[in-house]
Amino acid sequence: MAGAFPPSLEILVTHLMKLPTIGRRSAERLAFHLLKSPREQSVELSEAVVRMKDRLRRCSRCFNITEDDPCAICRDPSRDSKILCVVEDAPDALAVESAGGFRGRYHVLEGCLSPLKGVTAGDLHIAELDERVASEGVEELILAMNPSVDGEATALFVTQRYAPKGLRLSRIALGLPMGGSLEYADEQTLQHALSGRTPISGRES
């Protein structure tokens, strides 16, 4: 019963419940775990949260999260600037990067088109993608949107925008379940999805 909790414990539980997938019972379990753990652990946890909030920003080129701008991937001269992997948001770029094997660079849209939620191309980093395509010698876009209705709509929009410019476009698909999220896909599934991407438009290489 919520009213039975001492105020400081209730406040922590309330904050934990704001986190994704954490319901009241899970929040209570986490709070009691912290209560029983050494004080130092709680101090380090709270400091880690604040440090992360203070230090992380968006890369001004690819919009991935980074502590330094431009990010390490944009600065790395060994990465292939001709190939951009276009993703909805930073966790997706991190997931593809963790899977390994991709040597191009990223472009994070920071969202996907959603007519229902009123998200249009102007809300995404499409203008910045135009700019990169024009100035960085980009030849190929790998579309790694989430397998959802909005992800599909976004992939279609990007395809229709850049195919006429002569870019090679491909979409990762193999092994990714509909309604799923790139962020939670295992490494093998993502590796298969990348290597098994299918051309949508563009020249044969």
Q: Tell me which residues touch Zn ion (CB under 5 A).
A: 59, 61-62, 70-71, 74
The least CB distance from residue 78 to Zn ion, in Å, is 15
- List residues bridging with 80 in a β-sheet: 104
Find out whether 69 and 59 touch, Cβ atoms under 8 Å: yes
The least CB distance from residue 74 to Zn ion, in Å, is 3
Q: Is 29 left (phi over 0), alpha (psi -120 to 50) or beta?
A: alpha
Q: Which is nearer to Zn ion, 31 or 95 (CB)?
A: 95
Q: Which is nearer to Zn ion, 12 or 84 (CB)?
A: 84
Buried b (16+ CB within 10 A) or exposed e, 160-176: ebbeeeebbbbbbeebb
Q: Which is nearer to Zn ion, 135 or 198 (CB)?
A: 135
Q: Which is nearer to Zn ion, 13 or 90 (CB)?
A: 90
Within the chain, where are the H helices? 7-16, 24-36, 39-55, 72-75, 90-99, 126-135, 149-162, 187-195
The least CB distance from residue 70 to Zn ion, in Å, is 5
The least CB distance from residue 91 to Zn ion, in Å, is 15
Work out the burial of residue 93: count CB atoms within 10 Å of its CB; fewer than 13 is exposed, 13-18 middle, 19 or more buried: buried
Residues 6+ apart with CB under 8 A from 126: 109, 158, 161
Q: Which is nearer to Zn ion, 34 or 65 (CB)?
A: 65
Task: At 176, list the tokens.
Answer: 């990714």
